Amino acid sequence: MNSISHKMLMAWKHLSPKYLPFADAASPDLPLSRLLRLSLFQVSVGMALVLLVGTLNRVMIVELHVSATLVSVMISIPLSLAIGLILMNALGYGLNQLSIVGLVVALGLLVDDSIVVVENIERWIREGYSKKEAALKATQQISLSWDSLPSVPSGAASAAALTAS
Protein backbone atom coordinates (compact mmCIF):
# COMPACT_ATOMS: atom_id res chain seq x y z
CA MET A 1 0.00 0.00 0.00
CA ASN A 2 1.47 3.34 -0.96
CA SER A 3 2.00 6.17 1.49
CA ILE A 4 -0.89 8.33 0.19
CA SER A 5 -3.50 5.64 0.73
CA HIS A 6 -1.97 4.86 4.12
CA LYS A 7 -2.24 8.54 5.11
CA MET A 8 -5.85 8.62 3.88
CA LEU A 9 -6.62 5.50 5.87
CA MET A 10 -5.17 7.02 9.03
CA ALA A 11 -7.09 10.28 8.44
CA TRP A 12 -10.35 8.38 7.95
CA LYS A 13 -9.70 6.34 11.09
CA HIS A 14 -9.46 9.52 13.16
CA LEU A 15 -12.28 11.41 11.43
CA SER A 16 -14.64 8.61 10.53
CA PRO A 17 -16.05 7.29 13.83
CA LYS A 18 -18.16 10.41 13.89
CA TYR A 19 -19.39 10.06 10.29
CA LEU A 20 -18.72 6.42 9.36
CA PRO A 21 -18.95 4.13 12.38
CA PHE A 22 -17.75 1.10 10.41
CA ALA A 23 -14.58 2.75 9.06
CA ASP A 24 -12.45 1.47 11.93
CA ALA A 25 -12.85 -2.00 10.39
CA ALA A 26 -10.74 -0.91 7.42
CA SER A 27 -7.45 -2.71 7.09
CA PRO A 28 -4.87 -3.35 4.38
CA ASP A 29 -6.78 -6.53 3.46
CA LEU A 30 -10.11 -4.70 3.34
CA PRO A 31 -9.45 -1.16 2.11
CA LEU A 32 -11.85 1.62 2.95
CA SER A 33 -12.95 1.99 -0.68
CA ARG A 34 -14.12 -1.61 -0.78
CA LEU A 35 -15.73 -1.26 2.65
CA LEU A 36 -17.65 1.79 1.40
CA ARG A 37 -18.81 -0.08 -1.72
CA LEU A 38 -19.98 -3.03 0.38
CA SER A 39 -21.87 -0.80 2.80
CA LEU A 40 -23.47 1.12 -0.07
CA PHE A 41 -24.55 -2.18 -1.63
CA GLN A 42 -26.06 -3.34 1.67
CA VAL A 43 -27.96 -0.08 2.08
CA SER A 44 -29.20 -0.29 -1.52
CA VAL A 45 -30.38 -3.87 -1.10
CA GLY A 46 -32.10 -3.00 2.17
CA MET A 47 -33.91 -0.05 0.62
CA ALA A 48 -34.95 -2.13 -2.38
CA LEU A 49 -36.36 -4.85 -0.12
CA VAL A 50 -38.28 -2.33 1.97
CA LEU A 51 -39.73 -0.73 -1.16
CA LEU A 52 -40.61 -4.11 -2.66
CA VAL A 53 -42.31 -5.45 0.44
CA GLY A 54 -44.08 -2.15 1.09
CA THR A 55 -45.34 -1.94 -2.48
CA LEU A 56 -46.40 -5.58 -2.43
CA ASN A 57 -48.29 -5.08 0.82
CA ARG A 58 -50.02 -1.93 -0.39
CA VAL A 59 -51.00 -3.37 -3.75
CA MET A 60 -52.21 -6.66 -2.34
CA ILE A 61 -54.04 -5.28 0.69
CA VAL A 62 -55.43 -2.00 -0.66
CA GLU A 63 -55.80 -2.56 -4.39
CA LEU A 64 -56.50 -6.29 -4.64
CA HIS A 65 -58.36 -6.53 -1.32
CA VAL A 66 -56.32 -9.51 -0.14
CA SER A 67 -56.54 -9.98 3.62
CA ALA A 68 -53.56 -8.81 5.63
CA THR A 69 -53.35 -12.23 7.26
CA LEU A 70 -52.83 -13.90 3.90
CA VAL A 71 -50.16 -11.36 2.93
CA SER A 72 -48.32 -11.91 6.21
CA VAL A 73 -48.40 -15.68 5.63
CA MET A 74 -47.13 -15.18 2.06
CA ILE A 75 -44.16 -13.28 3.46
CA SER A 76 -43.52 -15.32 6.60
CA ILE A 77 -43.39 -18.79 5.01
CA PRO A 78 -40.57 -18.04 2.53
CA LEU A 79 -38.81 -15.97 5.17
CA SER A 80 -38.93 -18.80 7.71
CA LEU A 81 -37.66 -21.26 5.09
CA ALA A 82 -34.79 -18.91 4.26
CA ILE A 83 -33.92 -18.48 7.94
CA GLY A 84 -34.07 -22.25 8.39
CA LEU A 85 -31.70 -22.82 5.47
CA ILE A 86 -29.30 -20.15 6.78
CA LEU A 87 -29.31 -21.75 10.24
CA MET A 88 -28.80 -25.20 8.72
CA ASN A 89 -25.78 -23.91 6.85
CA ALA A 90 -24.43 -22.19 9.96
CA LEU A 91 -24.82 -25.34 12.05
CA GLY A 92 -23.18 -27.53 9.43
CA TYR A 93 -26.21 -29.44 8.19
CA GLY A 94 -26.73 -29.97 4.49
CA LEU A 95 -29.73 -30.41 2.24
CA ASN A 96 -28.95 -34.13 2.03
CA GLN A 97 -29.58 -34.49 5.75
CA LEU A 98 -32.74 -32.42 5.43
CA SER A 99 -33.94 -34.65 2.60
CA ILE A 100 -33.37 -37.76 4.68
CA VAL A 101 -35.30 -36.29 7.61
CA GLY A 102 -38.12 -35.34 5.23
CA LEU A 103 -38.21 -38.87 3.81
CA VAL A 104 -38.33 -40.36 7.30
CA VAL A 105 -41.23 -38.09 8.26
CA ALA A 106 -43.07 -38.86 5.01
CA LEU A 107 -42.52 -42.58 5.53
CA GLY A 108 -43.87 -42.32 9.07
CA LEU A 109 -46.99 -40.53 7.82
CA LEU A 110 -47.47 -43.14 5.11
CA VAL A 111 -47.17 -46.03 7.54
CA ASP A 112 -49.47 -44.34 10.05
CA ASP A 113 -52.14 -43.63 7.43
CA SER A 114 -51.94 -47.13 5.99
CA ILE A 115 -52.52 -48.57 9.47
CA VAL A 116 -55.61 -46.39 9.82
CA VAL A 117 -56.88 -47.55 6.40
CA VAL A 118 -56.33 -51.23 7.26
CA GLU A 119 -58.14 -50.85 10.58
CA ASN A 120 -61.00 -49.07 8.83
CA ILE A 121 -61.26 -51.86 6.23
CA GLU A 122 -61.43 -54.42 9.04
CA ARG A 123 -64.22 -52.43 10.69
CA TRP A 124 -66.28 -52.41 7.45
CA ILE A 125 -65.71 -56.15 7.00
CA ARG A 126 -66.94 -56.77 10.59
CA GLU A 127 -70.08 -54.79 9.70
CA GLY A 128 -70.81 -57.30 6.92
CA TYR A 129 -69.45 -55.69 3.73
CA SER A 130 -67.42 -57.66 1.19
CA LYS A 131 -63.67 -57.10 1.04
CA LYS A 132 -63.93 -54.98 -2.12
CA GLU A 133 -66.79 -52.84 -0.76
CA ALA A 134 -64.99 -52.45 2.58
CA ALA A 135 -61.78 -51.32 0.85
CA LEU A 136 -63.67 -48.79 -1.28
CA LYS A 137 -65.64 -47.42 1.68
CA ALA A 138 -62.56 -47.22 3.91
CA THR A 139 -60.41 -45.39 1.39
CA GLN A 140 -63.23 -43.00 0.51
CA GLN A 141 -63.74 -42.24 4.17
CA ILE A 142 -60.02 -41.61 4.73
CA SER A 143 -59.81 -39.29 1.71
CA LEU A 144 -62.82 -37.38 3.03
CA SER A 145 -61.15 -36.97 6.40
CA TRP A 146 -58.05 -35.58 4.69
CA ASP A 147 -60.21 -33.09 2.80
CA SER A 148 -61.89 -31.88 5.95
CA LEU A 149 -58.68 -31.79 8.02
CA PRO A 150 -56.01 -30.09 5.90
CA SER A 151 -53.39 -30.08 8.64
CA VAL A 152 -53.66 -33.64 9.94
CA PRO A 153 -50.43 -34.38 11.81
CA SER A 154 -50.92 -38.12 12.01
CA GLY A 155 -53.36 -40.95 11.50
CA ALA A 156 -54.62 -40.48 15.04
CA ALA A 157 -56.55 -37.39 13.93
CA SER A 158 -57.91 -39.35 10.95
CA ALA A 159 -59.02 -42.12 13.29
CA ALA A 160 -60.68 -39.55 15.54
CA ALA A 161 -62.48 -38.09 12.55
CA LEU A 162 -63.60 -41.56 11.47
CA THR A 163 -64.98 -42.50 14.88
CA ALA A 164 -66.79 -39.15 15.12
CA SER A 165 -68.61 -39.71 11.82
Query: Mean pLDDT throughout 53-77?
Result: 77
Would the pLDDT of 51 be above 80?
A: yes
Q: What is d(CA 123, CA 69) in angstroms, rounded to the nearest whole number?
A: 42
Per-domain boundaries in the chain: 3-93, 96-164
| Residue in 1, 72, 67 with CA at minimum distance from that of residue 32 | 1
Question: pLDDT at position 127, please?
Answer: 94
The pLDDT tens digits of the residues spanning 67-88 come to 776 777 777 777 777 787 788 7
Residues whose CB is less than 8 angstroms from the CB of residue 56 and which lie 6 or more positions away in sequence, other chains included: 71
Would the pLDDT of 162 be above 80?
A: no
pTM for this predicted structure: 0.35
